Amino acid sequence: MDTMSSPDPPSGLSHIRGEGSEAHAVMVDVSAKEPGRRVAVAGARVVFPGELLEQVLAGRGPKGPVLEVARVAGIQGAKRTAELIPMCHPLGLDLVEIEFQVESPRVLAIRCTAVTTARTGVEMEALTGASLAALTVYDMTKALEKGIRIEGLRLLEKSGGRSGHWTAPEPT
């Protein structure tokens, strides 16, 4: 079956071709798009019980320097997104940056910025980077407390491409 001639389903999902029993997943063809600078920023929050965040920030995690290991994991995760998310295009990333900010005595915010010059966006890379950094913080601190939560993984901002610039509304 020729996937190029299959109509998009009524839902408009870009990674599905055909309808009903003929529907199947496809990788979107981006070959006709012009390469351009693409930037995406994603975030997640790690919520700690009690005084645990203070310990983490003081470098007293049970497995070493929690934030630096999480930073490297987030960068590595962003770079490997196409291996983890089946329909993602492999991208050469020009920058991946992981930042941490204390929002409150119990909340650590994580931001991942991904930048590329490509035919498709880097939203998934930014989301993967933020999530892997958050998961690594959990992994490195779970011996102290199992009640740590990861919340609010979301795209915060993106620019470039046909849809231009977009910023997430403030959460309600």
Q: What is the pLDDT of residues 46-87, one digit of tens each?
A: 999 988 999 888 876 677 789 999 999 999 999 999 999 998
Question: Which of 7-11, 20-24, 80-84, 151-155 is least confident?
Answer: 7-11
pLDDT in the model for residue 6: 42
16 or 64, greater pLDDT: 64
pLDDT in the model for residue 106: 96
- Active centre residues (catalytic): 139
12 or 58, greater pLDDT: 58
CATH topology of domain 35-161: Alpha-Beta Plaits (3.30.70)
pLDDT at 91 over 50: yes
Q: What is the pLDDT of residues 119-135, one digit of tens each?
A: 999 999 999 999 999 99
Instruction: Return contacts of 152-155, CB within 8 angstroms, 24+ apart.
Output: 152/43, 152/44, 152/45, 153/42, 153/43, 153/44, 153/127, 154/42, 154/43, 154/44, 154/127, 155/40, 155/41, 155/42, 155/123, 155/126, 155/127
pLDDT in the model for residue 64: 79
**53, 148 contact by CB (below 8 A):** no
Report helix, strand or coil for 69: helix
pLDDT in the model for residue 4: 46
